[in-house]
Structure 1
Amino acid sequence: MADTPDEELRARKERERDELYALDISGVEWHCAPGTEDHEERVEIAYLPGGAVAMRSSLDPDTVLRYTEAEWRAFVLGARDGEFDLEPEPQNGGAAAE
């Protein structure tokens, strides 16, 4: 019996995740937002092969999360669209309601 499309997708994503976490990233270059100081708490990212990205906190550099190119793209595009804004912002550049 053949796998369903959902099962095939899950299996492919699991393989991608396993391969991503098997990568040796000991020599990667970590980047942070411009203007942050070494002593400040910040998020750092490293670019990995195939468009993947690793992310860590400067306060806990041993804990590293890894994202496939598709996951990272979805996150960045969502952030650009305001999906992760802490406070609602007026839409379309308009002033806040008075």
Structure 2
Amino acid sequence: MATFRIYRCDCGYEVHSEPAGHYGLMSGEYYNFRCTKCNEIIAISADDLASQSYYPTCPECGANKEKIHNWNPIEGHCPKCGKKMKEVPGMILMAD
């Protein structure tokens, strides 16, 4: 089970994420990353990270290595414009 929150930027970009930037579900553990090529926040499973020798590849655009950076909503900024993202009140509860 994971508690997701919505984080939104003034530019309109938003992402659903756990506050810590990683979460565990019955299907596995996932980590958030920021891709500097496609400017998206992506989630990559721990299994995929291990199979990629811990050099993650973006599932959206295929970028890898130096273009992928750890991301969490507490310290992270909007991948589109660089501004601080704000938490939208309330939460989304996911369970599987």
| Pairwise TM-score range, normalised by the shorter structure | under 0.3
After TM superposition, the score normalised by the length of structure 1 is 0.27
After TM superposition, the score normalised by the length of structure 2 is 0.28
Larger radius of gyration: 1
More helix by share: 1
More strand by share: 2
